Amino acid sequence: MTERIYNFSAGPAALPLPVLEQAQQDLISLGDTGIGVLEHSHRSKAFLAVYEQAEGLCREIASVPDNYKVLFLQGGASTQFFMIPMNLLSKDQTADYLVTGSWSKKAVKEAKLFGNVNIACNSEDKNFSYIPSEVALSEQPAYVHFTSNNTIYGTEFASEPEVPAGVPLVCDASSDIFSRPIDISKYGIVYAGAQKNLGPSGMAVVIIRDDLIEQGPTDIPTMMQYRTHSEAGSMFNTPPTFGIYVLGRVLQWLKDQGGLAAMGQKNQAKAGKLYDYLDQSQLFKPTAAKQDRSLMNVTFVTGDADLDAKFIAQATAAGLDGLKGHRSVGGMRASIYNAFPEAGIDKLLSMMNEFEQEHAS
Ligand SMILES: *Cc1c(COP(=O)(O)O)cnc(C)c1O
């Protein structure tokens, strides 16, 4: 087998090796069933056990309260961009959106198809390099939507934005879900595309409060109603079985690592090493405002596009893949989700150090 390298990809992203090894076996035969996980009916006893384990671990790890459902839906996070307003926003209502990056903007575009949108804050004036401290909410928003971690720009909310009592807080947590402890009771909906911190692409994990499920209209397509999936335990149609399987294995791995509190500490330590280096570097500069730095996506530049390209090429040659920044920021981005090993960060740091010495002016 080819040796595995360090994968700094923003998503799909690195998964824990023990999970991949287990999946390799379960592809041929799930447990002792003699049938691979991809080949099992979603109604089979063996798969139902997989489903129940994934759902149960999700509830356990994040202490999901009883009045919330955990749904496994298809279409990634982007489908939630329209499914949420389709269910929660009517023509005469306003939803508030905190715009902190291009994923937030995409969510806004979809919401406008269903009702009014109030942009409660926007950090585009500085290319989304910070999280605005001032948020101007509308009078009675149907909900308040924010993006907890801005994958492209390397910024992250340190804590949830404040919302008035009774207003549901809705969060796109695609790139930092389960990277640290989360108090689900503060939210109406938390959703995430699975491919950054949880598993394969194509699936979204949606944690939604019961009253919001009930509130949605019944005259929209059946598949677009949260109640459909809630009532059917995410099995109204054939669910993304492999995604659910991998999610379950990843959550078991997360639990074995000590759960969300331990994971949060590890992520602090991992990102902290990189930021400490960047803060004293004469060559590499972090792009995100210090107080808003992401623990998941660390963005930095040299200030010289040719030098950035040279660094990325050398890093790639040394087995550090996926470090090229998103085109809207340029430079480098190290995506270091839960499963990314600290040894990969040490290797990146030693490369940066060498490169800096070589190019010291
Ligand atoms: C990756 C990402 C998305 C898009 O997820 P899809 O599953 O591809 O639709 C949405 N929001 C954020 C914050 C992301 O990082």
Domain presence at residue 9:
no
Domain presence at residue 3:
no
pTM over 0.85: yes
Query: Angle 221-37-55 (CA atoms, 0-180°, nearest 5)?
Result: 55
The residue from 200, 229, 256 where one domain ends is 256
Res 2: pLDDT: 80
Measured torsion, CA atoms of residues 109, 115, 120, 122, in degrees rounded to the nearest 10: 10
DSSP code of 44?
S
Domain presence at residue 347:
yes
Do 32 and 151 share a structural domain? yes
Res 56: pLDDT: 98
Q: Mutate which of 172, 189, 335 to test ligand 1's pocket (most atoms within 8 Å of Cβ)?
A: 172
Do 305 and 227 share a structural domain? no
Res 360: pLDDT: 78
Do 162 and 56 share a structural domain? yes
pLDDT (tens digit, 9 = 90+) per residue, 233-269?
Answer: 999 999 999 999 999 999 999 999 999 999 999 999 9
Contact 232, 69 (CB under 8 A): no
Number of structural domains, the chain? Answer: 2
Do 249 and 268 share a structural domain? no
The residue from 203, 222, 256 where one domain ends is 256
- % of the chain beyond a pLDDT of 90: 98
According to DSSP, the residues that pair with 96 across neighbouring strands are 118, 144
What is the domain range of residue 267?
Answer: 259-359
Domain presence at residue 6:
no
74 lines ligand 1 (CB under 6 A): no
Do 310 and 247 share a structural domain? no
- Residue 361: pLDDT band by 50, 70, 90 thresholds? low
- Residue 1: pLDDT band by 50, 70, 90 thresholds? low
Do 124 and 75 share a structural domain? yes
Domain presence at residue 10:
no
The residue from 241, 256, 271 where one domain ends is 256
Q: Mean pLDDT over residues 129-133, rounded?
A: 97
11 lines ligand 1 (CB under 6 A): yes
CA of 103 to the centre of ligand 1 (A): 7
Res 81: pLDDT: 98
Res 28: pLDDT: 98
Domain presence at residue 74:
yes
